[in-house]
Every structure is written in C-alpha cells, then in structure tokens.
Structure 1
C-alpha cells in the first residue's frame, strides 16, 4: 500500500448522518446488504462508469465471496489510511443504498466516486457528499468523475 494522502493528525470520520443517509465506514460486516445493493445496482454502475474505469466491476456473476474479498480490501485500506470506502444506508439503517470511495489522485487532493441504486439517489448523495467533503475533510481540490460533470451544471 502507498502512503496516506491525508495529514497524520486528521481524524477520519467513521460515520456521518444526515436527514437522508447514514454514511459509515464499509466493513465486512456489511457483506449481505452490500452484496444485494451491488447486484441490484450493477447495470446502473455500468451506465455511470466505463468498464475501463471499474475494471468491469461488478461482474454479472459476482459471487458473495468475491464481494467479501472486496470489503476486506476496502476495510484494510481504510485502516491503513490509504483509501476510504463508506457504505450508504437509509436513515433507518436498514437498506444499503450504495457506496462512496475516497481515493488518492495524481492530479487532485482526492478522487471521490460513488454509486447508488438509481439516478435520483445519485444526485442527492452527490450533493450530500460534496458538502461533507468541503466541511469535514482536509481537501481543497477534489475530483468527482462522472457525477461532478452530471450534477455541477
């Protein structure tokens, strides 16, 4: 793994609640609900992001075990402070609506991607995350591939 792209003294949030979402650190404990959300959002994710960008993820035949391995990797990256993956749940904390990924970038302070199950939720989550990042993270120059171009008009 690479070096952290956030200051050592920065306390990385593990949870962020809004009137619409509960955003919290993605862990392997989220496997069952994450897998359901990923498989339901599969076509939508492929509409948003190119196959090259996602490496073809999620595959039509993604297994629970493969998703578990992804969650373990994301949790390890978070703990090592080299990338940050969050799960997005409804406010009742019952249904996984999507995920947010905060990653290092060669050209920006951070590159932030996200997906949800539908376009309406995408827009609401994008606006929520953008405000969260601006107000609670140490980044000045962020990049939101795809969603930034769609919703910053």
Structure 2
C-alpha cells in the first residue's frame, strides 16, 4: 500500500488487525505481559539460534547477556502498546497444545522506502523445524489479510 493511502499511520484508518493465525504446530496471538515468563524462557534458551536466524544476524536482539524478568516485561508491555496504537504488531508464537511460547513474529514499518512493512520471526532452538513453515505461513497471511503490498521479509 502506498504511504499516501495510509496517511501517517502504519495501517489504514478502520483496518482491523488480525489477532490470530493458526498453522501446523503453532498458533499466533498478540504478544503481551501475560506471556512474560514463557517468552523469557523461550528466547533465553535460544539466543545463539535466534541470532543465526535470517533477519536477526545484524540485530542487537536478543542480548547475549539476557534480560531480567522485569526488563522482559517492560519489552512485552511496549510491544503490546505498539499493537494498541497500531504502530507495530508483535505476535507470540505458541505451541497449540500447551500455549507455551515457542517464538515471536514482529511486523513493523520499514525504514526502507521500497517497503511498507518489515517482518521478522524466530522460533526457539528446540522448535527449529518450524522456522520455515512459520515464515511461509506469515508471508501468506500478510499478503492475504493485511494492507501492505511491499513487505520486507528479510530474505525469506
């Protein structure tokens, strides 16, 4: 979607952001403070794996030294507020059988003028087999249910 069609916002006025995606072996829902303990466990157990994931190689997250539960809670609260304000959309990736956090999907405005949005996703090291299927499902979902035409998938 061209920037003049969305005005100043990341999504058009009146657009209702989808709140769930269900795929084989995962379910997405908006990330929030309620996921703190499970989210912290998922990414801190997989720092090297996440940093090696396509799209994260040049990112400073996750921090090698980890975070406290309070710092992680602050991060999750910020992501939840971005969702409310429609400035970015972060989804937790849950195991559909246990609701344990197994990854995350970030959809934010692109800083590259050739793209409307950018998406990154990660899964925990113990769920590495879901990386490709998750990225493919999210790509289809963004194309079908979201308003952008030019999404930077960071090589996926």
Q: Which range, TM-score by smaller chain? A: 0.7 to 0.9
Distance, in Å, in 2 between the alignment partners of 1:82 and 1:101 is 11
Segments of structure 1 that go 5 or more residues without pairing to the other structure are 149-153
Q: Secondary structure at the match of 2:16?
A: coil
Q: Residue 143 of structure 2 aligns with which residue?
A: 134
Q: CA deviation at 1:100?
A: 0.2
Q: Residue 151 of structure 1 aligns with which residue?
A: none
- The count of aligned residue pairs is 143
Superposition map of 1:98-117 within 5 A: 98-106=103-111, 107=113, 108-117=115-124
RMSD: 1.5
When the two structures are superposed, what TM-score results if normalisation uses the length of structure 1?
0.86
Distance, in Å, in 2 between the alignment partners of 1:30 and 1:85 is 12
The structure with more helix, counted as a fraction of residues: 1
Question: Which 4+ residue blocks in structure 1 deviate beyond 6 angstroms?
Answer: none
Q: Residue 91 of structure 2 aligns with which residue?
A: 86
Q: Secondary structure at the match of 2:52?
A: helix
Segments of structure 2 that go 5 or more residues without pairing to the other structure are 1-7
When the two structures are superposed, what TM-score results if normalisation uses the length of structure 2?
0.84
